[in-house]
Structure 1
Amino acid sequence: MAKRKLMTKKQRRTLATIFASMIALIALILAFLLVRNFIRQNSSLAQPPIQVKSIRQQHEEFIQSIAPAAVNSSHNYGILPSITIAQAILESDWGQSQLASNYHNLFGIKSDDPNNSQLLETQEYQNGQWITISARFRVYASFEESIQDHAALLANGTTWNKQQYQHVLASTNYLEAAHNLQRDGYATDPDYTQKIIQIIQKYHLDRYDH
């Protein structure tokens, strides 16, 4: 039977040195991790995390930003605020369309004046299909100005028919007004009425009508 070879003093000292070095390295790593965690916690307290707004919050902020002008135009021209706001939402894609974001035109109102309009492409529903056309659109200084001009259009009619939107003006609630927009020829989209009603009901825009 072979005899087990004992370690010499020198080997034991070497092993002890290695063991001590390992302990010191582990302690150093732990200290580093503790310091890093402390720094992260303190930096997060000093700088609150960025809060990302939900789509619903963004939509509600847009509604609130144009609601006062819609209510004001209702007093001046008799257009229900819910209709004005819903049309602005639908036609400007919540103020994000090129026409709205660059030129404050919320409703796609056209203009023949080259000094106060911009030539852009748009889609219109003709002969049972959507087509792309180029047209000149009015440029506004603000959303409020766009809303007032839209209300004036409904109240005063077109150059060829002053009574064109008489049924919209006579409407006593948003359901009547939405249907009468289609009836009076405001939009070519066959689903325009339903889209307006859905927006009003989803965001409870009729609260501005009272």
Structure 2
Amino acid sequence: MGKRQNRLMKKIKKFKLSTFFVKKGRLQVGRVLVVVFILLLVIGKVSDLTNRNYFNSNVDVNNLPMNQLTREQFIQRIAPEAQDIQTQTGIRSSISIAQAALESDWGKSTLAYKYNNFFGVKATGSMRSVNLTTSEFEDGKWIEVKAPFRVYDSWQASMEDHADLLIHGTSDNPKRYAKVISGVNVEEAAQALVDGGYATDPGYAKKIMNLINEYQLKQYDQ
């Protein structure tokens, strides 16, 4: 142990709380104020964390607008619907939840919170629709295009229609998304979305899997 460390240890041994605040019979006001300030910061931080935890644990997410939910609350909100769909169709809940989060920007996109379209589903024919700008990956680069998107009465209707699309495919290819359901694991299911042409983004499957892993969405497949 060096001389500097020895001096430090001696100071620590000699330290007394009473002499820290009072020196030669005089109260060290500056030191008192510093300690009080530190204590107030600590108490405020603990109180803030306690209030946040209380709010998050007691708030009813069903009464909040979708675009005001945290990511965890978003999952909590749509997971039961995704699990019901899985029971009826075999579509993994993790896929439904991750796609909804990715396509709707966690319920915060205009298409999601104004028009209840959580999966970026395009409109055809006489379907109720809204024209919005979207990004597409074409010829090796991203471009912005205007496209008609479906409008739904509720986010639940959007989830049901998404499931219907995966089950029945498109008019030109009814089996387009069959492997999303029949894939032996969630990785195959995510890749089947890309193979079926659900999105033009070449990194789509990876983004889906990143969300599934980061938020442990496989637990909802059980």
- Is the shorter-chain TM-score for this pair beyond 0.5, marking a shared fold? yes
| Stretches of structure 2 lacking an aligned partner (at least 5 in a row) | 1-46, 57-68
TM superposition outliers: structure 1 runs of 4+ over 4 Å: 48-54
**CA-to-partner distance for each residue in 1:155-179, whole Å, 9 max, x for gaps?**
0000111111121121132111112
Partner of 2:66: none
**CA-to-partner distance for each residue in 1:136-186, whole Å, 9 max, x for gaps?**
111111111101100110000001111111211211321111122112222
Return the index of the structure with the highest Cα Rg.
Answer: 1
| Stretches of structure 1 lacking an aligned partner (at least 5 in a row) | 1-47
Q: Where do 1:43-62 residues align within 5 Å?
A: 51=52, 58-62=70-74
Partner of 2:61: none
Question: Secondary structure at 2:70's aligned position in 1?
Answer: helix
- Farther-moved stretch of structure 1 (112-121 vs 174-183): 112-121
Matched, 1:107 2:133: no
Q: Where do 1:1-80 residues align within 5 Å?
A: 51=52, 58-80=70-92
Partner of 2:165: 153
Amino acid at match of 1:103: Y
Partner of 2:133: 121
Identity of aligned residues (%): 45
RMSD: 2.1
CA contact (8 A) 1:80 1:173 kept: no
Q: Give, in whole Å, the separation in 2 of the partners of 1:180 and 1:135.
A: 24
Question: Secondary structure at 1:169's aligned position in 2?
Answer: helix
Which of 190, 197, 201 aligns to 1:185? It is 197
Amino acid at match of 1:67: A
Q: Give, in whole Å, the separation in 1 of the partners of 2:117 and 2:125.
A: 15
**CA-to-partner distance for each residue in 1:81-117, whole Å, 9 max, x for gaps?**
1001000001110000000010110011011245611
Equivalences, count: 161
CA contact (8 A) 2:90 2:181 kept: yes
* TM-score normalised according to structure 2 size: 0.68
Asked which structure has the greater RCO (Cα within 8 Å, sep 6+), the reply is 1
